[in-house]
Structures are given as structure tokens and as C-alpha cells.
């Protein structure tokens, strides 16, 4: 084993306090690769884009269509990206007007996630009992209906559309109040899968194997790059929380990178109305070199002009089906290509 390998199998030393925001400096300090993985766009093989004009005031590199790079969000810029709850009122208002950014309280996320589980389990109140704008967690181990096993639950694919900071997937904090939630009371779709892994996996090896599958089967997409990064961070931090709570130590750097890599595929940047990288549709100039004269014409995107989801000239987003280990165009989800 090389010296590098030794380092990678050590527990990740990611320092974060019990509050919604985690500084990008602390991610960078924990591991050089981790933050770069979290910024990757697996479709373009570049970094994710800001896709909001909120940051343009910070100068070059912060324009709406620029990539988010490590120097722009670390060092003295470490506080640049903040969760919505920590943004100024003016920023919040601008984002409501610009991108209809209004986040959902945890009790509503819980109630809607419960509907999915009610249908899957064929009974109500599996994970918790709903109260008025809150819930009480059911403490006993969860039993499975006939014909369904705990591993089926882990493999069942779940998606949060227009995920923002992904409160339906992971609920470290209530995105509308900033209130932190104890692990045992979390209600996200991935939280539920990790609870099931906790209750059923015997060895550390089995826990790791199935917790990876839990993350692999959890998806979300979002337009704005800052929220997208926070959503990915929330996935990784939640994973670390569960690992620490189960084993009393941090996951290895290698494992943490693997989770970040999955999050960089599964939580992707997309215009959900077109299934392409936001703002990637464009006008094309067609040059016709005739016998006597050369003419040029400008053609707009057919998908945009005819509102045809399959005819965009922008970059169609690709996502991964981890069970078959194949990538597919996200637009193919419409014809049920993944399951």
C-alpha cells in the first residue's frame, strides 16, 4: 500500500458544526478532491454553473453562465455560498421572483414522503406518525410487507424534481427555519433508506455496501448552481452523520469521495422543462455556399420554438443507472428507461 493509499483509508476529517451551513473551506481542508468532485458536472465534464445572477456583483467568474470553481468559493470567499435560510431577505426575494425559489417546511416534506411509503408498504405511518405540522418518529424496527424485502426498499429509485437544497431527500435541517433535525427524526427519502440499512445490515461491510446503493438510488435535479452544490453537500454530510452515528468514527476518505461522486451524478444541473443543461439551447448560423453567392441564416432551437422536448439543440443531461452501470439521457426518463 502506498503512502497515498494510507491517507485515503483514514477517516475524513470534515469539520462542521450543528447548523445548516458548512463552509467550503472546511470541505477543502478535509480533502483536496472532495470539493472538486462536488463541483463536477457529469454531463459536460466541466464544473457546474452558477445559473443565477445573484453573485455577479462579486466580479469576474461569478457571471450567471460561468463555472463555479474552488477559488471562487473558498479562502476569503468561503462565505459566498450560503443556504437560503442564511441569505439576505433581498436575495431571498430576488430568487423567489427569478426562479420561484420557495422551500418546503420539513413537516410537509415528511407528509408527502409518507404518501410514497404508504403506497410502497401498503400501510400508513411506517416511519412516523404525523401531528399538526410535526411528527413523532416510530421507534420500533420497520417490518416489510409480504413479497418485499429491505433490499428492495433500498434499490427503489426516488427523485426530487427541482430539488433546491434537497429537503425531500435529506433533512439535516428544515430549509424554511434552519432548525437542525436529530438523525433519528429525519424524514428525507435518503434518510429513510439509511435508517433501513441501519436496522438490517449486520456488519460494517454490509452497511457500507447497502448505504452506497441507497445513495445510488436517490436522485434530484436543480437549475441554480449554488443550491445544487448545497444539495450535494447535504447528501455527503448526511452520509457522514449516519456513518458516525452507527460506527462512532468518520467514513474513510475514499468512501466519502465515492459518495460525493455518486452525488455529483445523481444531483444534477438541469432545466427540468427541457431536460438540457440550463441555457444551453442556442441559435445556430447556417452558411450556404451557393454557386454565385454565399448566404447565411440564423436558426433558432427547434425544441424551444416548437416546444418539443426531444428537439432541443442544447446539451441533453446524462444520468447514471447504477444497477446497469449505464448512462442515459435524463429525457429518456419520460419513456421509463430507468425502471
Ligand X SMILES: C[S@@+](CC[C@H](N)C(=O)[O-])C[C@H]1O[C@@H](n2cnc3c(N)ncnc32)[C@H](O)[C@@H]1O
Distance CA 75, CA 71 (A): 7
What is the closest distance, in whole angstroms, from the C-beta atom of residue 88 to ligand X in the complex? 17
Q: 57: which 3 cell numbers?
A: 456583483
Q: Which is nearer to ligand X, 187 or 255 (CB)?
A: 187
Of residues 268 through 327, those in contact with ligand X by CB under 6 A are 271-273
By CB under 6 A, name the one of 44, 104, 137, 157 that touches ligand X. 104
Least spacing, CB of residue 165 vs ligand X, in Å: 7
First to last CA, the chain: 40
Q: Which of residues 203-222 bind ligand X (CB under 6 A)?
A: 222
Binders of ligand X among residues 16 to 45 (CB under 6 A) are: none
Nearer to ligand X, 211 or 224 (CB): 224
Q: Are 94 and 54 in contact (CB under 8 A)?
A: yes
Q: For 215-253, b where at least 16 C-beta lie within 10 A, e where not — what string?
A: bbbbbbbbbbbbbbbbbbbbbbbbbbbbbeebeeebbbb
CA dist 264 → 7, 229, 230, 269 (Å)? 23, 9, 11, 9
Closest CB to ligand X: residue number: 164
The number of helices, as runs of H, and strands, as runs of E, in the chain is 12, 9
Query: What is the closest distance, in whole angstroms, from the C-beta atom of residue 144 to ligand X in the complex?
Result: 28
SS3 at position 233:
helix
| Cell digits of residue 150 | 429491505
Q: Is 224 in the site for ligand X (CB under 6 A)?
A: yes
Rg (CA), the chain: 21
Interface pick for ligand X out of 34, 72, 163, 317 (rule CB under 6 A)? 163
Residue whose CB is less far from ligand X, 23 or 176: 176
Would you say 74 or 113 has its CB closer to ligand X? 113
Among 83, 167, 188, 314, binds ligand X (CB under 6 A): 167
Residues shown for the chain: 339
Please report whether residue 54 would count as binding ligand X according to CB under 6 A.
no
* CA–CA gap between residue 15 and residue 263 (Å, rounded): 20
Cβ-based nearer residue to ligand X, 110 or 200: 110
Residue 294: helix, strand or coil by DSSP? Answer: strand
The phi-psi region of residue 92 (left if phi > 0; otherwise alpha if psi is between -120 and 50; otherwise beta) is alpha
| 98 or 152: CB nearest ligand X | 98
Residues 175-194 that bind ligand X (CB under 6 A): 175
Work out how close the CB of 257 gets to ligand X at its nearest, in angstroms, rounded to a whole number: 26
Among 102, 115, 136, 149, binds ligand X (CB under 6 A): 102
Beta carbons of 196 and 142 less than 8 angstroms apart: yes
Question: Where do contacts with ligand X occur on this chain (CB under 6 A)?
Answer: 99-104, 160, 162-164, 167, 175, 222-224, 227, 271-273
Amino acid at each position: 500500500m502506498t503512502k497515498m493509499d494510507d491517507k485515503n483509508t483514514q477517516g475524513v476529517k470534515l469539520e462542521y458544526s450543528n447548523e445548516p451551513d458548512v463552509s467550503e473551506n472546511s470541505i477543502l481542508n478535509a480533502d483536496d478532491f472532495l470539493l472538486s468532485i462536488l463541483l463536477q458536472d457529469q454531463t459536460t465534464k466541466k464544473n457546474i454553473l452558477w445559473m443565477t445572477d445573484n453573485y455577479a456583483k462579486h466580479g469576474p467568474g461569478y457571471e450567471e453562465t460561468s463555472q463555479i470553481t474552488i477559488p471562487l468559493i473558498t479562502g476569503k470567499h468561503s462565505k459566498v455560498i450560503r443556504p437560503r435560510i442564511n441569505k439576505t431577505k433581498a436575495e431571498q426575494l430576488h430568487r423567489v421572483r427569478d426562479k420561484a425559489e420557495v422551500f418546503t417546511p420539513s413537516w410537509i416534506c415528511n407528509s408527502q414522503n409518507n404518501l410514497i411509503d404508504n403506497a410502497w408498504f401498503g400501510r400508513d405511518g411506517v416511519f412516523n406518525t404525523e401531528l399538526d405540522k410535526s411528527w413523532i418518529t416510530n421507534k420500533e424496527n420497520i417490518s416489510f410487507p409480504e413479497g418485499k424485502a429491505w433490499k428492495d426498499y433500498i434499490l427503489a429509485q426516488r427523485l426530487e424534481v427541482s430539488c433546491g437544497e434537497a429537503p425531500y431527500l435529506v433533512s439535516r435541517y428544515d430549509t424554511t427555519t434552519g432548525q437542525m433535525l436529530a438523525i433519528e427524526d429525519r424524514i428525507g427519502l435518503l434518510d429513510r433508506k439509511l435508517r433501513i440499512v441501519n436496522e438490517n445490515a449486520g456488519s460494517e461491510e454490509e452497511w457500507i455496501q447497502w448505504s452506497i446503493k441507497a445513495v445510488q438510488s436517490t436522485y434530484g435535479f436543480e437549475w441554480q448552481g449554488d443550491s445544487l452544490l448545497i444539495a450535494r453537500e447535504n447528501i455527503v454530510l448526511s452520509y457522514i452523520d449516519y456513518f458516525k452515528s452507527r460506527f462512532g468514527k468518520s467514513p474513510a476518505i475514499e468512501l466519502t469521495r465515492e459518495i460525493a461522486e455518486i452525488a455529483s451524478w445523481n444531483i444534477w444541473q438541469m432545466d427540468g422543462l427541457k431536460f438540457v443543461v440550463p441555457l444551453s439551447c442556442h441559435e445556430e448560423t447556417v452558411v450556404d455556399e451557393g454557386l454565385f453567392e454565399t448566404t447565411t441564416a440564423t436558426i433558432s432551437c427547434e425544441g424551444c420554438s416548437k416546444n418539443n422536448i426531444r428537439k432541443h439543440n442544447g446539451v441533453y443531461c446524462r444520468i447514471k443507472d447504477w444497477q446497469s452501470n449505464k448512462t442515459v439521457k435524463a429525457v429518456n426518463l419520460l419513456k421509463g428507461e430507468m425502471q
